[in-house]
Amino acid sequence: MRKPALLTATILGGMISASMAFAQIPPSNSTPGEETTTAATAHNAGAGRFGGPAPSAPQAPGVNAANLPDISEIGINEVPAAVPQIDATPAREDWPAYGRDSSQNRYSPLDQLTPENVGQLKRAFVYHTGSKPGPGQANKWAAETTPIKVGNSLYMCSAMNDMMRIDAATGKEIWRHDAGVKYHSIPYTAACKGVTYYTSSTVPEGQACHTRIMEATLDMRLIQVDAETGKPCEGFGFGGQVNLMQGMGESVPGFVSMTTPPPVINGIVVVNHEVLDGQRRWAPSGVIRGYDAESGKFVWAWDVNNPDDHHQPEPGKFYSRGTPNSWAAMTGDNELGLVYVPTGNSAADYYSAMRTDKENAVSSSIVAIDVKTGEPRWVFQTAHKDVWDYDIGSQATKFDYHHEDGTVTPALLVPTKRGQTFVLDRATGKPLPEFPVVEKPAPASTMSDDPRSPTQPWSTAFPRLAFPDLKESDMWGMSPIDQLYCRIMFRKARYVGEFTPPALDKPNIEYPGYNGGSDWGSMAYDPESGIVIANWNSTPMYDQLITRKKADALGLKPIDNPSYNPAGGGAEGNGAQADTPYGIVVTPFWNHYTGMMCNKPPYGMIEAIDIKTKKVLWSRPLGTARANGPWNMPTGLPLNIGTPNNGGSVVTKGGLVFVAAATDNQIRAIDIRTGKDVWSDVLPGGGQANPMTYEVNGKQYVAIMAGGHHFMMTPVSDQLVVYALPDTADQKH
């Protein structure tokens, strides 16, 4: 399910003296879960209901964070006719949606910045969101935020869901809305990828809440405020808020959360949510829901195990539990009346024997849901019966595919953590004939109770965003000793290539790892040149199923257990997988002594692909060793080693790619023709966010949230850093 990122430490090494490398001392304890943490007091409510799922049990206090009344349901015919939204046809200088426009292609038609002048780019201003770990709070921060820009204003959210409007030319705060999200509501990560700009269909221009800023929060609220003033829109829900825990049944704060901007399609706002990985088989539902964007009233639900019931559950009933959740940004399609939902796994990611056929049909898929009915129109699955956490983290991108015969098909570009990129017909969900999908045999399970799919889908024509399967000789280190250690780890594991299934008797190597391939940074696509920009990871994981007894010994408990220890089993690592026979141990495939990855570099790449010829135009490592090294020590070296990365890119008409993402804490501009860096700057925190670009008063700006990422071990900051050419520099417009 959720997976931002990983891995610190990868890197560099030989620069350390050989004797240091040889003097490795075994760590006193390499098992997880000894760290003490704060949090958790909120999880202590309700002991005695952990023998199994109790879906009818009441939600713990604080789950309905704002104590909102239940929202009522209306029919689709009662939803007011939608007016055109600004992201359908954005002004040239704007960036009104998460991926700039409703096609979510991360392409800007601005061309003031070019490979020739971008070297003069300087900081124009820095804006502080004010959200970072407080005293005594464990660092769970990774803002991952991309502002949107409409008119002369930026609109964004902080990692803890405060919303703000900022002067796009000066960085001055115009208003701020305090969302009041509490620390205990942070699931694995405090993140808010962005807000949605919504134009009302009923409130006339000039009145409050004609234009609105909407967000989905970590504590499961949908909030709308007036774009002009930041005041709550009273006509939406209850005082501008809707409680999305309604109908979810038993839960605790932090179990279910939302981090992506909800899309509005033909007047329906669609919401998905993350369910914390690895907790229990009967975790809260992954239900997808549609609400009237105007009033906040419920319209439909898509509940995987109750596919024919699109209504809200009656009192005492709940959406089906443990179903695949969707945490990535969704893509809307007004023309076809669809929302493209990237789904993840059923709960308990690494054990599939308890999943229903209905779940198996829609997990780790793109599901196109009709926004009038909540009924799926088509499903395309990217990994069958997933036990590798190959949930889809990327937002799909809409584009028009021009066939050789001159016809055009509305298409969908679907990146995956596997590094397979699927190109689908948006109307049917079928792969385009130019991008066939082949079912290839996949390894069988060694767990007799949990068979695997005999085949898995491969997009054979689109360049694969991954290196070949690992070999023993790909093992790495600073010295022959740590290379030998990694070779032993490699040989001790079961590994028969991609889709090696998890097992009880030995570890398995999962490669590509759950950080991708392509993760939530998604892809950028230039519709004029047909060039796709993709950044991706090469970070294998080392997994093993463990018995319940062993899981208990490791202290692995689900989040709703009173003795839950967040450090013992979070979304990214070891998990209790309660209600199943097995827990799961997951670590990066790394050297426990040095904290360096076991496979050789590069660990992160960026490449340009021509969608017409399906050729890779250039491919290069992304990120230097300057902030990484053994034992997590910065080496300061400018070596272009290619680090793990999280966050996407922007492609501009000016011929530039802007990307941060890497763990070297830099933002860089790349010349799209050559793939070479033409500018870079060191950020005040990790740049694990998607950058964006816009223009105000004839000046082009580039913005990046340098929020850092706890899992990537990059420094946290609350700074949005915005760049522009100095006034004296060459500006074409």
Partner 1 sequence: MTSRSRPRRIGDWATLGLAILIVIFGLIFVGGGGYLLSLGGSPYYLICGIVLLASGGLMAMGRLLGAYLFLLAWAATLVWTIYEAGFDWWGWLPRLFGPTLIAILVVLSLPVLRRQDTVRPVSRGAV
Q: Is 239 in the site for partner 1 (CB under 8 A)?
A: no
- Asked if residues 313 and 319 have their Cβ atoms less than 8 Å apart, the reply is yes
The residue behind tokens 């011929």 is 655
Q: Is 448 in the site for partner 1 (CB under 8 A)?
A: no
x/- map, 575-614, partner 1, by CB under 8 A? -------------------------xx-------------
Least separation in angstroms between CB 170 and partner 1: 45
Q: Binder to partner 1 among 290, 431, 477, 540 (CB under 8 A)?
A: 477
Q: Which is nearer to partner 1, 348 or 503 (CB)?
A: 503
Q: Which is nearer to partner 1, 160 or 641 (CB)?
A: 641
Q: Binder to partner 1 among 292, 482, 681, 718 (CB under 8 A)?
A: 482
The secondary structure of the chain in percent helix, strand, coil, rounded to multiples of 5, reads 5, 30, 65
Please identify which of the residues 292, 389, 450, 519 carries the catalytic annotation. 389
Q: Is 637 in the site for partner 1 (CB under 8 A)?
A: no
- Edge to edge, the sheet with strand 719-724 lists 122-128, 719-724, 699-705, 692-696
- Asked if residues 86 and 100 have their Cβ atoms less than 8 Å apart, the reply is no
Q: Which is nearer to partner 1, 21 or 683 (CB)?
A: 21
Q: Is 485 in the site for partner 1 (CB under 8 A)?
A: yes
CA distance 53 to 50: 7
Helix/strand/coil (H/E/C) assignment for every residue in 394-414: CCCEEEEEECCCCCEEEEEEE
- Asked if residues 209 and 278 have their Cβ atoms less than 8 Å apart, the reply is no
Q: Binder to partner 1 among 44, 56, 72, 473 (CB under 8 A)?
A: 473
Q: Which span sits near partner 1 by CB under 8 A: 51-59, 113-121, 139-147, 471-479?
A: 471-479
Closest of 1, 4, 82 to residue 645, by C-alpha: 4
3-class SS of residue 545:
strand
Q: Is 496 in the site for partner 1 (CB under 8 A)?
A: no
Burial of 604 (0-12, 13-18, 19+ CB in 10 A): buried
Q: Which is nearer to partner 1, 430 or 492 (CB)?
A: 492
Q: Is 88 in the site for partner 1 (CB under 8 A)?
A: no
3-class SS of residue 462:
coil
Burial of 675 (0-12, 13-18, 19+ CB in 10 A): middle
Q: Which span sits near partner 1 by CB under 8 A: 134-142, 171-179, 484-492, 624-632?
A: 484-492
Known active-site residue 482: no
Count of residues of this chain found to bind partner 1 when the rule CB under 8 A is applied: 27
Q: Which span sits near partner 1 by CB under 8 A: 15-23, 277-285, 461-469, 574-582?
A: 15-23
Q: Is 41 in the site for partner 1 (CB under 8 A)?
A: no
Q: Which is nearer to partner 1, 11 or 39 (CB)?
A: 11
Q: Binder to partner 1 among 480, 497, 638, 698 (CB under 8 A)?
A: 480
CA distance 360 to 499: 16
Q: Which is nearer to partner 1, 594 or 690 (CB)?
A: 594
3-class SS of residue 262:
coil
- The strand pair at 107-108 and 649-652 is best described as parallel
Q: Which is nearer to partner 1, 488 or 682 (CB)?
A: 488
Q: Binder to partner 1 among 172, 491, 732, 733 (CB under 8 A)?
A: 491
CA distance 84 to 79: 15
CA distance 549 to 320: 28
Q: Binder to partner 1 among 83, 438, 444, 484 (CB under 8 A)?
A: 484
Contacts with partner 1, residue ranges (CB under 8 A): 13-14, 17-19, 21-22, 472-473, 476-485, 487-488, 490-492, 600-601, 641
Q: Catalytic residues, which ones?
A: 389
